[in-house]
Amino acid sequence: MRVLGIETSCDETAASVVALDGGSAPEILSPKILSNVVLSQIEEHAAFGGVVPEIAARAHVEALDGIVEAALTDSAVSLDEVDAVAATAGPGLVGGLIVGLMTAKAIAAAANKPLIAINHLEGHALTARLTDGLDFPYLLLLVSGGHTQIVAVRGVGDYQRWASTIDDALGEAFDKTAKMLGLPYPGGPNVEKAAVSGNAGRFAFPRPMKGSAQPDFSFSGLKTAVRQAATAIAPLSDQDVADICASFQAAVADALGDRVARALARFRLEFPDKANPALVVAGGVAANRTIKGTLEALCSKAGFTFLAPPQKLCTDNAAMIAWAGIERLRAGMAGENAADFVPRSRWPLDSVSAPLVGSGRRGAKA
């Protein structure tokens, strides 16, 4: 089985071919990433301190054909030889989604292949099966620039959101903090770098939601606290910036750890028979060493395996979309040919869990 995947939901233009050989033991997954081409638009957006949707959509239009061609060439698989085309159809920035899905529709129609519309979050959720052949069920922590969620991954198409942010995504909080402190975009890696020489004990920033019975995340109050602290001592020296970054990071790790500990305990209760349970992280923020260290410690205390797929597959890519396409094909859940599928800027992975308290009429943006 070979699937061409396309990803354009944010600021990465990506295409990939993933293969799964039907061996004698089909329950043992041995997928191969035949190509994985990712073009980051960071340079296009850096001057604005964040992703500008119109610039992103235009950049996708300009780059996508070449990226798809490169993915096919790298994989040495011709379009004729793929079994299906899978494209991210949401959630994300609608301009980019339109570019990716329309391109996929055109390729699928021209090559007479089925088209599979993939939820971007499902791509992240299933990555650990592509990289590590992980068995269901497991727990996923997704922390990126656009999303902050804890999801119980129970099967293909069977996801239960246990927690989500009621305001900013965690990556967004890093990016906004960096911007306030005059650090370049993307903020996360720069905040982490500055924090190395900072004193994490200098500022007592809040730990939002810590100890709350509501399982969700919140980061906007922390961001406001950072702004107030920075304004109070401006102009900032390099040491001030480092201290704020270190204190911010410590608050984030502490708050996140509290939320994840709750979810690990819930997983034990809901899946008491699951041997060797695992927590998987995905998203750009998972690169942060302080956060990773906190999660590793939590997992080892709770008897969970901690799994962080390689960074290239943790952040946005099309291999995860191609893989989600393969999983759906195998499960007989590829759906009708998605030629009529309309891109969805908001598309919850779990349509059953109640909307979030405090996240506004349209639900959490992340």
Q: Does 186 bind ligand KG4 (CB under 6 A)?
A: yes
159/144 Cα distance (integer angstroms): 18
Q: Does 100 bind ligand KG4 (CB under 6 A)?
A: no
Select from 35, 41, 103, 144 the one that contacts ligand KG4 (CB under 6 A): 144
Contact criterion met (CB below 8 Å) for 322 and 4? yes
Question: Which contacts qualify for 312-315: CB closer than 8 Å, 24 or more apart?
Answer: 312/36, 312/38, 313/36, 313/127, 313/130, 313/131, 314/127, 314/281, 314/282, 314/283, 314/284, 314/286, 314/287, 315/12, 315/144, 315/283, 315/284, 315/287
Closest to ligand KG4 by CB, 49 vs 189, is 189
Q: Does 7 bind Zn ion (CB under 5 A)?
A: no
The region of 59-67, 180-188, 194-202, 265-273 touching ligand KG4 under the rule CB under 6 A is 180-188
Q: Does 175 bind ligand KG4 (CB under 6 A)?
A: yes
3-state helix, strand, coil in the chain (%, to 5): 45, 20, 35
Structure tokens that stand for 214 in this block:
């509501």
Binding mask 298-337 for ligand KG4 (x = CB under 6 A): -----------------xx---------------------
- Length of the chain equals 366
Query: Left, alpha or beta for 182 (phi > 0: left; psi -120 to 50: alpha)?
Result: left
Q: Does 188 bind ligand KG4 (CB under 6 A)?
A: yes
The region of 207-215, 265-273, 284-292, 321-329 touching ligand KG4 under the rule CB under 6 A is 284-292
Q: Shortest gap between Cβ of 248 and ligand KG4 (angstroms)? A: 10
Closest to ligand KG4 by CB, 75 vs 148, is 148
Q: Does 90 bind ligand KG4 (CB under 6 A)?
A: no
Q: Does 148 bind ligand KG4 (CB under 6 A)?
A: no
DSSP secondary structure code for residue 217 in this structure: B
Binding mask 33-62 for ligand KG4 (x = CB under 6 A): ------------------------------
H helix intervals, the chain: 42-46, 53-75, 94-111, 120-132, 170-180, 187-195, 220-233, 238-270, 289-302, 311-314, 319-330
> What is the sign, positive or negative, of the torsion defined by CA atoms of 282, 275, 301, 265?
positive
Q: Is 202 exposed, middle or buried (0-12, 13-18, 19+ CB in 10 A)?
A: middle
Q: Does 316 bind Zn ion (CB under 5 A)?
A: yes
Q: Which residue has the closest beta carbon to Zn ion?
A: 316
The region of 72-80, 83-91, 285-293, 344-352 touching ligand KG4 under the rule CB under 6 A is 285-293
Closest to ligand KG4 by CB, 216 vs 316, is 316
Closest to ligand KG4 by CB, 2 vs 161, is 161
Binding site for Zn ion (CB under 5 A): 144, 316
Residues forming the site for ligand KG4 (CB under 6 A): 10, 144-146, 171, 174-175, 186-189, 192, 283-285, 287-288, 315-316
